[in-house]
């Protein structure tokens, strides 16, 4: 009986230690809770004319008739972890740019550009973690540059399993975790790994919350982010 009691107490102690360790990691001082104060986190709205507002800690991006892709750009940053929950109207797709760049007047065409032409000043371009209901969620797209998926560019399409393609739930809040460290990029949607690749071309850049452009005469549609937390890593 005594041995069994000691074993039970030991197991409880291990569980308690693990629980508080995880809790400390989740709520530690390194985490920043974006949009919790009702502000746009010092971000700038660029590339298009979509509107952004914060209500009760939820960032809401809404389309504007005829606008091209718009972004709320924050940064720049190097290595980081970013987590959030997102809900997008079925008619809209979206994404979050990472380590992306803002085109300036006189810049040449970005390296690897599909069009071979410079981006217009103010255009955000670079890796984007996709938010969509069509099976591409969590993959990274090279926005306004190569115009294709990083899983194709880096030959990591094996990560795009049936589970990965089905991870995003239509009409629901979906949890994302994005980890970028050195040349290594990873994403997880509702706990399922959806991207895992390396590429050295973007060592630093902006995080950008996208509202995708729509055709004239359609919309308005919205995308919503909540419980957004961010921390820089080393």
Per-residue pLDDT of the chain (234 residues; tens, 9 = 90+): 444 433 443 444 444 444 344 443 455 569 999 999 999 999 999 999 999 999 999 999 999 998 999 999 999 999 999 999 999 999 999 999 999 999 999 999 999 999 999 999 999 999 999 999 999 999 999 999 999 999 999 999 999 999 999 999 999 999 999 999 999 999 999 999 999 999 999 999 999 999 999 988 999 999 999 999 999 998
pLDDT for the residue numbered 234: 84
Rounded CA gap, 206 and 125, in Å?
9
No. of H helices and E strands in the chain?
3, 14
In a shared domain, residues 22 and 52:
no
The CATH number that applies at residue 82 is 2.60.120.560
Rounded CA gap, 32 and 228, in Å?
8
Given a contact cutoff of 8 angstroms between Cβ atoms, the answer to whether 96 and 223 are in contact is no
In a shared domain, residues 80 and 154:
yes
In a shared domain, residues 120 and 25:
no
Rounded CA gap, 40 and 60, in Å?
10
Rounded CA gap, 142 and 127, in Å?
5
In a shared domain, residues 8 and 87:
no
pLDDT for the residue numbered 4: 45
DSSP state of 181: E
Domain count, the chain: 2
In a shared domain, residues 224 and 174:
yes
CA–chain centroid gap for 10, Å, is: 40
Rounded CA gap, 169 and 85, in Å?
12
Question: How many other CB atoms sit within 10 Å of the CB of residue 158?
Answer: 9
In a shared domain, residues 7 and 60:
no
In a shared domain, residues 9 and 41:
no
Question: How many other CB atoms sit within 10 Å of the CB of residue 14?
Answer: 10
In a shared domain, residues 205 and 93:
yes
Q: Whole-prediction pTM value?
A: 0.88
Burial class (CB in 10 A: 0-12, 13-18, 19+), 182: exposed
CA–chain centroid gap for 199, Å, is: 17
Range of the domain at 4: 1-30
pLDDT for the residue numbered 21: 40
In a shared domain, residues 25 and 36:
no
In a shared domain, residues 180 and 193:
yes
């Amino acid at each position: 009986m005594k041995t069994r009691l000691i074993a039970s107490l030991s197991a409880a102690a291990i569980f308690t230690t693990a629980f508080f360790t995880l809790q400390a990691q989740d709520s530690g001082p390194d985490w920043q809770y974006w949009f919790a104060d009702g502000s746009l986190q010092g971000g700038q709205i660029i590339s298009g004319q979509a509107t952004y507002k914060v209500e009760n800690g939820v960032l809401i991006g809404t389309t504007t008739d005829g606008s091209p892709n718009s972004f709320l750009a924050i940064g720049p940053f190097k290595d980081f972890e970013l987590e959030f929950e997102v809900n997008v109207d079925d008619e809209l797709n979206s994404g979050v740019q990472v380590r992306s760049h803002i085109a300036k007047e006189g810049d040449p065409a970005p390296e690897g550009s599909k069009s071979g032409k410079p981006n217009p000043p103010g255009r955000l371009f670079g890796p984007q973690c996709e938010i969509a209901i069509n099976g591409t969620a969590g993959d990274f797209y090279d926005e306004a540059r190569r115009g294709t998926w990083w899983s194709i560019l880096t030959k990591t399409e094996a990560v795009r399993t049936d589970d990965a393609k089905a991870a995003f739930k239509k009409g629901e809040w979906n949890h994302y975790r994005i980890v970028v460290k050195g040349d290594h990029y990873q994403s997880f949607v509702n706990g399922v790994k959806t991207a895992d690749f390396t590429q050295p071309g973007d060592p630093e850049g902006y995080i950008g919350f996208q509202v995708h452009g729509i055709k004239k005469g359609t919309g308005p549609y919205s995308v919503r982010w909540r419980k957004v937390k961010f921390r820089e890593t080393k």
